[in-house]
Amino acid sequence: MSKVMPYFYFIFGLVILFDGIVQFLENKELYKLLFSWNTTDKYFYLSIKIIFSLFFFFIGYKRFRVKS
């Protein structure tokens, strides 16, 4: 299981990034960040999504390096 875990982190980071881009391209009045946190600024929303996805990419990379 530990050999597959880094790939789960990479996939989860890609899902977060893809969802952020799709939501960014839609014009909405309210963007839901996490749980009950909301924002009306779509650039702030995209930046938070990028930070979350980079966090998961970094964790996956660290686990991948430890594995090999």
Task: Specify the pTM.
Answer: 0.84
How many CB atoms lie under 10 A from the CB of residue 9? Answer: 19
67 near 60, Cβ under 8 Å?
A: no
**50 Cβ contact list (under 8 Å, min separation 6):** 17, 20
pLDDT under 70 in the chain at which residues?
Answer: 67-68
Number of structural domains found in the chain: 1
Domain that includes residue 62, residue range = 4-66
Report pLDDT for 53.
96
